[in-house]
Structure 1
Amino acid sequence: MTCSGVRFPNLSPSSGGGTIAGGNVTVVTTSVLISGFGGRMASEIADAIASTEDLVVAGGYNPRRAEYTDSDVDADVVLEVTRPEVVMGNLRRWQERGLPCVVGTSGFTAESIEEVRSFWGADDPACLIVPNFSIGAVLMIRFAEAAASWFEDVEIVERHHADKPDAPSGTAINTAERIASVGGAASVELDGAAAHGELHHGIAIHSMRHEGVVAQQEVFFSGPGESLRIEHVSGDRASFRRGALVALRAVTELRGVHVGLDEILIGGSSGDRPQS
């Protein structure tokens, strides 16, 4: 099937949501428009959607290949995974058309989230900004947040693939903000030592970019006589599938701007967190 000049092999077309009847069971389907199709994350999530019974890819929009038109929007939910320089304009389009949106674009900051809140109303169909689709990464940040008040020193090391456009990663900045919000742990300051990492919220973050790496992050705490290392490794982009499907299913039940999967997976609000 095609949409905006992008071809989707082996995907059934859909015109909005519908139902699939099987025996005595009726499955309500949610159709998803993928904005930014062609990228690695979009392709991974499209494959994940194709493996479900309740979600279906309705089409794709790639701003590098074709112009946006109203006819391109024929879906229940938008998955927004375009590059940072075009995402805000896209979000305004989806808000104007009343489409709930899951945002997985890298490079979001607290300021970016505030900009979204400036035009996305609290009663609008939801905009769910997800710092990291990996469920393990969500739990890593929660564990680091829980440990922060028990240790004096902390640093973060993050490693990602060579093509990742931002450094430090949004997940690392997110982690630093969450740790700092608890109080207690911070990084030892070394005057003039660039090798000590870039400080965010008083916490040093070391960024590495390598071929053959997907995503890794280590949070290292230390205190008198002991240390604690919390590490998460995504060895394959398949690790992002479950969280993305959770987000796409949950977004239709929400209103306004939400940030992170914490609220959905664990309960409680994750607040205004930067994006991975």
Structure 2
Amino acid sequence: MKVAVLGFKGRMGHEVVKTVLREADLELVAVLDHAPKEKNISEIADFSDLDVPVFDDLEKLLTDVTLDAVVDFTTPKVGYYNTKLVLAHGVSPVVGTTGFTPEQITELTELAASKKIGAIIAPNFAVGAVLMMQFAQKAAKYFPDVEIIELHHDNKLDAPSGTAVKTAEMMAEVREPKQQGAANEEEIMKGARGADYEGMRIHSVRLPGLIAHQQVQFGAEGQGLTIRMILTTEFLSCQASLFHPKNSRARYACLWFRKFNLMRGG
């Protein structure tokens, strides 16, 4: 399988490149960066023994290189454009970039279906995150008072995280409509109560030293429930390999994302 990696200089993109190189049935044929100084990946110390072209233009990459799949770990600003262009060229995208709107997801779903090709758009490939969202959805049916606190490293560009948004969307499917907090509450400082998703509050924390954490906090009279997921440094390299089609954990996550309208295609 011929693979290109977009955002290869980023934290996850770098790990994805190393994962592709480890797999005998995957071939790295191109990489992309928004402003590369290199023409070939061999100019980077970690990959000095390789001969893989570096592109700064996705259209040119898709035109010049024969591909089976494109892995995208870029930024929310360009993730939608990238995915749409990849699908338009008849190539399957595997997207770990977050920040897509529901309207964009719908449009990309229809495009993938029209091209009859598979595609994945997933806010998180971790099985722990998948289970957290499932458990939160089950709990929200009985605990309508709920808030989400997500914590990430300070280089993350989108807030709230895609995982937090998807968690809220799923809980909203089963949760009775309710505005969280006092009806006449007042924010002394704007944004103090966080983002509002159908009455649920979402709080985003960005600090150095963090990787990815999410806590779903439920409250009720005389009781409470906390569902928490933590990703460690060790998981960073592991997560890069989860997109591989032979990985059983990836299959579980992807099948589940398909069920809940996040995985697209055939």
TM score, norm. by length of structure 2: 0.77
Any gaps of 5 or more consecutive residues in structure 2?
A: 37-55
The answer to whether the 8 A contact 1:130-1:261 is kept is no
Partner of 2:186: 192
- Residues 156 and 168 (structure 1), Cα distance of their counterparts in 2 relative to 1, 3 Å cut: same
Higher helix share: 2
Deviating beyond 6 angstroms after TM superposition, the runs of 4 or more aligned structure 1 residues are 260-263
- Residues 246 and 209 (structure 1), Cα distance of their counterparts in 2 relative to 1, 3 Å cut: closer
Shift of 1:262: 6.3
Any gaps of 5 or more consecutive residues in structure 1?
A: 1-29, 251-259
The answer to whether the 8 A contact 1:103-1:129 is kept is yes
The answer to whether the 8 A contact 1:180-1:202 is kept is no
Shift of 1:240: 6.6
What secondary structure does 1:249 align onto?
coil
The answer to whether the 8 A contact 1:95-1:124 is kept is no
Shift of 1:134: 1.6
Alignment of 1:125-164 (within 5 A): 125-164=117-156
Structure possessing the higher relative contact order (Cα contacts under 8 Å, 6 or more residues apart): 1
- Residues 265 and 96 (structure 1), Cα distance of their counterparts in 2 relative to 1, 3 Å cut: closer
Deviates more, 1:161-170 or 1:67-76: 67-76
Alignment of 1:115-264 (within 5 A): 115-117=107-109, 119-184=111-176, 186=178, 188-190=180-182, 191-193=185-187, 194-236=191-233, 238-239=235-236, 241-242=238-239, 244-249=240-245, 264=254
Deviates more, 1:94-103 or 1:117-126: 117-126
What secondary structure does 2:106 align onto?
helix
Q: 2 CA distance for matches of 1:90 and 1:197?
A: 30
The answer to whether the 8 A contact 1:109-1:170 is kept is no
Higher strand share: 1
- Residues 111 and 102 (structure 1), Cα distance of their counterparts in 2 relative to 1, 3 Å cut: same
Shift of 1:127: 2.1
- Residues 162 and 116 (structure 1), Cα distance of their counterparts in 2 relative to 1, 3 Å cut: same
Question: May I ask how many residue pairs the two structures share in their alignment?
Answer: 235
Partner of 2:35: 64
Q: 1 CA distance for matches of 2:86 and 2:6?
A: 10
The answer to whether the 8 A contact 2:151-2:212 is kept is yes
**Which amino acid is the alignment partner of residue 245 of structure 2?**
R
Deviates more, 1:194-203 or 1:133-142: 194-203
The answer to whether the 8 A contact 1:136-1:232 is kept is yes
Q: 1 CA distance for matches of 2:74 and 2:65?
A: 16
Alignment of 1:74-89 (within 5 A): 74-89=66-81
Q: 2 CA distance for matches of 1:80 and 1:267?
A: 17
User: Percent identity of the aligned residues?
Assistant: 34
What secondary structure does 2:192 align onto?
helix
Partner of 1:271: 261
TM score, norm. by length of structure 1: 0.75
**Which amino acid is the alignment partner of residue 70 of structure 2?**
V
What secondary structure does 2:245 align onto?
helix
